[in-house]
Amino acid sequence: MASEISFAKYHGCANDFVVIDDMDGSLSRFFHDAELMTRMCDRHLGVGADAVLRLTRHDKHDFLLENFSHNCGTASGLCGNGSRCAVLFAADKGIIKKNKGTFATPDGSHDYNIAGNNLVSIGLADVLKCQIVHHNEDEFYVNVGSPHLVKFVSNLEQYDVKGEGPRKAWSGSYADPDVTGVTGVNVNYVENVADSTCRIRTYERTVSAETEACGTGSVSAAVVSVFRDSVTRDSVMRDGVTRDGVTRDGALKHSVVRDSVPTDGVSTEDVIRDGVPKDGVARHGDGSQAFRERTVHMINSGGTLTVSFREEPDRFSHVVLSGPAEKVFSGVFFL
């Protein structure tokens, strides 16, 4: 029986992980030991990490990634930054030999891409707008592979994340897996600081603490920030006329046109060159919006993550999380 486990420590914007190569499956029994997983994550008695990541073989994808939580040592949902670190680890170990491919997690398959300076991107599943729960003007719930509550606040730096985060994470329906399908929710506090730029702080349910960065939290906050803007935009429409004075129908397509040019002065010909919209908006032949390309920069405590996606009438598609990943050190953990 093995008396030690080889590992490497990686981080993505200071969201840190113990990463283990178990491609041959010889270490599988250790991942059923929740106490061992929590001990490895312990910052005083172990390696110190927000989670333990296991890479093992998969029949259809480059590898299968499992995420074991810091606070209880059991398998958890999708981890965005963990996935990006796992991709870089797989490249460093020679598990993958190309910059693009796919990997599997319990929530499905994901694309990955490795660019220069260890910039790692992963793809996530579409987010349906009908699945975003709008609690009130400032609070929204969405599941992007992991469950997230997004709350928009002011003065984020001074906000009591440590005090309020755990209360919200385990309150009401979020404490009942029969209601949400999971136990607890990650709580993201978000402040808009500029166009397409937000600051974010996240209390993670599987760490029982605020973390330096959260990948799926950044994705959730990015899509919800755009969704929230669209809800606000719809609410200010009066008799089909928006505050900017442009008359549109419910699908937000231009309904007032003179000489093939909408009243806001944007013609289809001006918008698209070589199939690429100048303003990021692709339109159907009748001028109605097909999708809008979006990029939102999420400033976490440990660094900035970029979330890009297409805003379609009923969903957010082509969701990509990008940011730096880095190896910190490698070693062996004595059992």
pLDDT above 90: residue 244: no
pLDDT given for residue 73 in this prediction: 84
Give the C-alpha separation, 151 to 319, whole Å: 21
- Give the model confidence (pLDDT) of 50-107 as tens digits: 999 999 999 999 999 999 999 888 888 899 999 999 999 999 999 999 999 999 999 9
pLDDT given for residue 219 in this prediction: 98
Residue-by-residue DSSP string for 44-84: TTSS--SEEEEEE--SSSS-EEEEEETTT-SB-S--HHHHH
**For residue 230, what pLDDT band results from cuts at 50, 70 and 90?**
confident
Catalytic residues: 79, 214
- Give the model confidence (pLDDT) of 121-153 as tens digits: 999 999 999 999 999 999 999 999 999 999 999
| Three-state DSSP state, 181 | coil
Residue-by-residue DSSP string for 195-238: TTEEEEEEEETTTTEEES--HHHHHHHHHHHHHHHHHHHHHT-B
Token digits of residue 124? 């996530």
pLDDT above 80: residue 49: yes
Is the separation of the CB atoms in 206 and 128 below 8 Å? Answer: no
Domains in the chain, CATH or no CATH each: 4-123+326-334 (3.10.310.10), 127-233+293-322 (3.10.310.10)
pLDDT given for residue 2 in this prediction: 72
